[in-house]
Structure 1
Amino acid sequence: MIYALRSTLRVMALAVAVVTPSLALAEPFRLILTHIEPPLVPNSVMDLAEELGYFEREGVDVELIRVQQTPSALAALQAGAGEMANVSVDALLHLVAQGGNDFKAVASPNKSLPFLIAAKAEYPTPVDLNGRSFGVGRVGSLDHSLSMNVLAQHDVDVSSLEILTLGQPSVRAQALAAGQVDATTMSIGVWLSLPDREGLTVVIDQEQYYEAAPVVNKVNVVPESVLDERRDDVIAVVRALVRISRDFAENPSAWAEAMDPLVPGIGREQLDTLARSFEGSWSVNGGMSRDELAYTQDWIYQTPDFADVAPVDLAAWTDFTVIDAVLAGMGTDETADRPTR
């Protein structure tokens, strides 16, 4: 609530800047987010980079603009209401396939979905799920398509599963806890937020999930006009996100400490557990691996939602020059997030 109010005040300040020349001269770099409050995933580095002064130390004045979903973020970016937006890759590919846009992905602060597959404790291994019920958001949704791929790689006959459409991850988790479904996909945050996990088990953890399906979920995109006119600011923003990601990778408790006052409904112990679970998930090199992005594009085009969508080239929606400039100055972190080219 406090964070939402703070964001509202910032949006109001932006409106004032339009009519106040002295404020307009500051030319803030507007970063559009699709979450209202800092999420319990590594994507929170964007909120925390602003909160902890990382952007300021890189010499760029960043304003966070919050909208509800990716379509709103893309619409805002098209309308010139921001310079950069964090959006889903599938929505970006849809837009690129339609033509007439110049958006380029320059970074991915949280490339991997922190998904895991949980089940009733009586089904402790993936193969135990054969013939069982499996909850999904909807048939053809990201969690459904991706999870079927992951399960198949763990020797599950996905055709034997009874697929139940249950909606949002929190609803699916509650259905699992109530015994209404045998297994489902959820984020590590939703899993840890369950008040009672007795009788439940993690069948495929988040590391195993991403290893089986290295699909990049969201990227930060900028219009080519912004790359041309404010390239130094774009590089500074990405450099700040890489720097804070490296700091949290090195010291996970720092993330928990920073998040603690921003998410009062979550205990510090749970935040520390979450922070440790993100090991290897931080975008310490900007999250821009050509191999993973190509895999992501190929996988998305195999989903039902893209059956009639015109194919596009990777170069049509990515720009590696920004992150390459950042890594040229900071060096490459060899521990994770390999930036393949």
Structure 2
Amino acid sequence: MKKLIKMTLIVALLPLILLGCNQSSTSSIKLTEVTRSLFYAPQYVALEKGYFEEEGLDVELQTTWGGDKTMTALLSDGADIALVGSETSIYVYAQNSKDPVINFAQLTQTDGTFLVAKEPKPDFVWEDLKGSTFLGQRKGGMPQMVGEFVLKNHGIDPKNDLDLQQNIDFANIPGAFVSGDAEYVQLFEPTASTFEKEGNGHIVASFGEESGNVPYTVFMTKQSYLDENEEEVQKFTRAVYKAQQWVEENSAEEIASVIKPYFEDTELDLLASSIERYKGQQSFATNPILDKEEWDNLKAIMEEAGELPADIPYEDLVNTTIAEEIIND
């Protein structure tokens, strides 16, 4: 009788025991992204295909809309990991931060913006920009710095050859272009293709193709978080790598179907064509390693824009150990 009671209790408690085991094996991570962008397709693949869950991670994603807000969330512990441009880690370091922000997994390796003209430009050349009104991005942010870098490479002085407007918040730039007088604008996908389809603009060039490889958007965290949660960061990076490989191996249409929940207002065919454009210019990194050549290119772009606060060594803010171990597993 006693054995029967014990067995009954064990059976009754088994779900609770299993639940407790599952809870203890799952780690929660607060992840913030600088914007919602098709450019970050591998991140959404990792979430939708359950790669983080396979690693025992419960990842909560929030969008903070802007580099400053994203970094504030990370530094104030409102986020554990941030997806944002590497330039932000340099800005923090240059302020003598006692807890530097470390780049540990690269997601995109080119600029993700496209030059969009209000009127059709079938024979566009960069010289056409001279004397035009150009709706630019936030001063000191990667889109604007890369944009200026490319323009200068084509003999255009952004400050003197353009009417450069930089007084619009990132999230409001598309609407301001449609309603305003600007003749050109930098836009990410799928907004650029949406504008083209709706007749609000015409894609005439790619800044990503023009600027070379840079650590454009990278997963980063504070050194203290990395020290205290190295295993979680390893699992996170492994999930990202799985997603990067899946994106590399699958078609734009398949990728679009997986990440559609993050872009409910965009038609599937438009998502697919935008993804194909990014794949075609190799914007999605195929592994999480941020190499020194990319870091040096970033610093050159920042210096050209007059935004490099200090020559920060690669080794100070980039950790490739975790990514290398995962790739070599």
TM-score interval (norm. to shorter): 0.7 to 0.9
Give the SS at the match of 1:194. helix
- How far residue 284 of structure 1 moved from its aligned partner, in angstroms, is 0.8
Q: 2:296 maps to what in 1?
A: 294
Indicate the SS of the match to 2:108.
Answer: coil
What are the superposed Cα offsets for residues 78-132 of structure 1, whole Å, 9 maximum, x if unpaired? 4555543223322211211222114321112234331111223257221122222
Alpha-carbon distance in structure 2 between the residues aligned to 1:81 and 1:164: 32
Residue 27 of structure 2 corresponds to which residue in structure 1?
28
Q: 2:47 aligns with which of 50, 54, 78?
A: 50
Query: Where do 1:112-123 residues align within 5 Å?
Result: 112-119=110-117, 120-122=119-121
How many Å separate the matches in 1 of 2:176 and 2:125?
20
Partner Cα separation in structure 1 for residue 124 and residue 229 of structure 2: 52
Give the distance between the partners of 1:97 and 1:224, measured in 2 at CA: 15
Counterpart for residue 270 of structure 1:
270
Residue 44 of structure 1: how far off its partner (Å): 3.8
Conservation of the 8 A alpha-carbon contact between 1:110 and 1:287 = no
Q: Distance in 2 between matches of 1:310 and 1:171?
A: 31
> How far is the alpha carbon of 1:291 from its aligned partner?
0.5
- C-alpha distance after superposition, 1:43-97 (max 9, x if no partner): 243233122111223x332322425244454445445555432233222112112
Higher RCO, 1 vs 2 (CA within 8 Å, ≥6 residues apart):
2
TM-score (norm 1): 0.76
Q: Which residue in 1 is equivalent to 2:129?
A: 129
Asked which structure has the greater CA Rg, the reply is 2
Cα gap change, 1:85 to 1:243, in 2 (>3 Å):
same
Deviation at 1:173, TM superposition (A): 4.2
Aligned equivalent of 2:13: none
- Give RMSD over aligned pairs: 3.1
Structural mapping, 1:21-100, within 5 Å: 25-26=24-25, 28-34=27-33, 39-57=36-54, 59-66=55-62, 68=64, 69-80=66-77, 82-99=79-96, 100=98
**Residues 97 and 311 of structure 1 are in contact (CA less than 8 Å); yes or no, is this contact kept in structure 2?**
no
1:86 aligned counterpart, secondary structure: strand
Q: Structure 2: give runs of 5+ residues left out of the alignment.
A: 1-19
Aligned AA for 1:116?
Answer: F
Aligned to 1:12: none
Question: SS in structure 2 opposite 1:66?
Answer: strand
Q: TM-score, normalised by structure 2?
A: 0.78
Shift of 1:296: 0.9
Equivalent residue for 1:188? 189
Query: Aligned to 1:109, what secondary structure does the other structure show?
Result: strand
Q: Give the letter for the 1:300 counterpart.
A: M
Deviations 1:251-275 (A, max 9, x none): 1222100122332211111111112
Q: Does the 8 A contact of 1:169 with 1:186 survive in 2?
A: no
SS in structure 1 of the partner of residue 107 of structure 2: coil
The CA deviation at 1:238 is 1.1
With over 3 angstroms needed to count, the CA separation of the structure-2 counterparts of 1:62 and 1:46, relative to structure 1, is farther
Q: How has the CA–CA distance of structure 1 residues 79 and 132 changed in structure 2, closer, same or farther, with 3 Å as cutoff?
A: closer
Check the 8 A contact 1:32/1:73 in 2, yes or no: no
TM-aligned CA distance change 1:168 to 1:78, over 3 Å: closer
Distance 1:316 1:147 in 2: 27
Aligned counterparts of 1:73 and 1:107: Cα–Cα separation in 2: 17
Given that 1:106 and 1:319 are in contact with CA atoms closer than 8 Å, whether structure 2 keeps it comes out as yes
Distance 1:245 1:133, change over 3 A: same
- Equivalent residue number for residue 238 of structure 1: 237
- Between the aligned partners of 1:41 and 1:248, the Cα distance in structure 2 is 12
In structure 1, C-alpha distance between the alignment counterparts of 2:68 and 2:255, rounded to whole Å: 29
Q: Give 2:147's aligned residue.
A: 147
In the alignment, is the contact (CA less than 8 A) between 1:169 and 1:190 conserved in 2? Answer: no
User: Partner letter of residue 64 of structure 1?
Assistant: E
